[in-house]
């Protein structure tokens, strides 16, 4: 899996590249210190995943996402930053980032997140889920503005749909809100991963949602309201 690392701190960037090199399934094909360099390299290297810091000189990472997606539409942009600001998180996802992770993430979990992002799965650090909900709510963003990331509020018939969730589906939904992958959910609940996938499909259908991030945001929002 090919990666482009974009971070203005040379020491951190080189350390991250060295860490990623320990995984034989990951290959860093390029590095950049700012958004301009990233925009130049992305269409040449066509990496599967672009690891993008937010606090870059010149153009901020969240503002560079659109340009990166334009010049390398097949690449997934995964934010890796120290910023825990809910507005940065919401802006990154709204602009098309596949996920938003904090630099404090464990190396093994980062590798897992990269693979999930490459498969098109949204990934957000679990501790930021509450801030994601709060950011969308404070902005009062309309449904169209949140596409394809997440809606702050569930569809109008979601309350009735929740009553139809089985106890097991409720457990799976709680794990999704934690940011757990299907494999992690299967391990936690001691069920097969294929069973988890079926539960996730049922949850999305019953709640009228289209992604795991929407389900996670909805679950966190409901928990805050209880």
- In this prediction, residue 174 has a pLDDT band, given cuts at 50, 70 and 90, of confident
Token code pair at residue 108: 């093994």
46, 1 contact by CB (below 8 A): no
Q: What is the pLDDT of residues 179-225, one digit of tens each?
A: 777 888 999 999 998 999 899 888 888 888 766 767 777 776 666 55
Distance (Å) of CA 213 to CA 9, 12, 67, 142, 175: 30, 29, 23, 17, 12
Q: What is the pLDDT of residue 226?
A: 57
What are 37-66's pLDDT values in tens digits?
Answer: 999 999 999 999 999 999 999 999 999 999
pLDDT classification of 79: cutoffs 50, 70, 90: very high
Residue 201 pLDDT: 87
Instruction: Read off the tokens for 130.
Output: 């509450």
* Rounded Cα–Cα distance for residues 75 and 46 (Å): 7
State how far the Cα of 58 lies from the Cα of 39, in Å rounded to an integer: 13
Q: What is the percent of the chain with per-residue pLDDT over 90, rounded to a whole number?
A: 49
Asked if pLDDT for residue 147 goes beyond 50, the answer is no
């Amino acid at each position: 899996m090919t990666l482009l690392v974009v971070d203005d701190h040379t020491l951190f960037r080189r350390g991250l590249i060295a860490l990623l090199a320990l995984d034989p399934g990951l290959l860093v094909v390029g590095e950049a210190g700012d958004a301009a360099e990233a925009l130049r390299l992305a269409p040449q290297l066509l990496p599967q995943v672009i690891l993008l810091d937010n606090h870059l000189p010149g153009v901020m990472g969240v503002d560079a996402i659109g340009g990166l997606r334009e010049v390398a539409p097949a690449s997934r942009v995964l934010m890796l930053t120290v910023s825990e600001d809910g507005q940065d998180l919401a802006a990154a996802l709204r602009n098309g980032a596949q996920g938003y992770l904090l630099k404090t993430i464990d190396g093994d979990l980062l590798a897992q997140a990269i693979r999930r992002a490459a498969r098109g799965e949204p990934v957000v650090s679990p501790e930021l889920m509450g801030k994601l909900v709060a950011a969308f709510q404070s902005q009062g963003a309309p449904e169209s503005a949140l596409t394809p990331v997440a809606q702050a509020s569930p569809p109008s018939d979601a309350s009735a749909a929740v009553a139809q969730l089985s106890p097991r589906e409720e457990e799976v939904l709680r794990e999704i809100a934690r940011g757990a992958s299907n494999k992690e959910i299967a391990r936690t609940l001691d069920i097969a991963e294929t069973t988890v996938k079926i539960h996730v499909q049922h949850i999305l259908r019953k709640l009228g949602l289209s992604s795991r991030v929407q389900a996670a945001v909805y679950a966190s929002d409901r928990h805050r309201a209880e």
